[in-house]
Amino acid sequence: MAEGKGEDVKHILLAKFKEGITEEEIQECMKRFENLVDHLPSLKSFKWGEELSIANFHQGFTHVFELTFESGEGVAEYLSHPHHVAYAEFFLPKLEKFIAVDFAAK
């Protein structure tokens, strides 16, 4: 993963839940995601929110997650961390689709 010198690396996830997933299930996903961050020492910040666009370009994606890591190595550590792997096994089956991107914040 290419990254800038000394720049934070952002990991952005856009999620579209499957039809029929309840609000309670979505809230459980958010709670578990928030708890996941306690296990990641290279994670500098975690934010999430629901899509609010009035332009209506969201293509059905309803939730956005922004994680900021100290480096690209921190992202790699996150992706292979056992707590993340277990969370992904719980979370991903609830999604119709998702997009994930990483970039060096300037």
Active site residues: 78, 81
Residues 28-45: b if buried by 16+ CB within 10 A, e if exposed: ebeeebeebeeebebbee
Whole-angstrom distance, CA of residue 21 vs CA of residue 52: 20
- DSSP annotation of 90 reads H
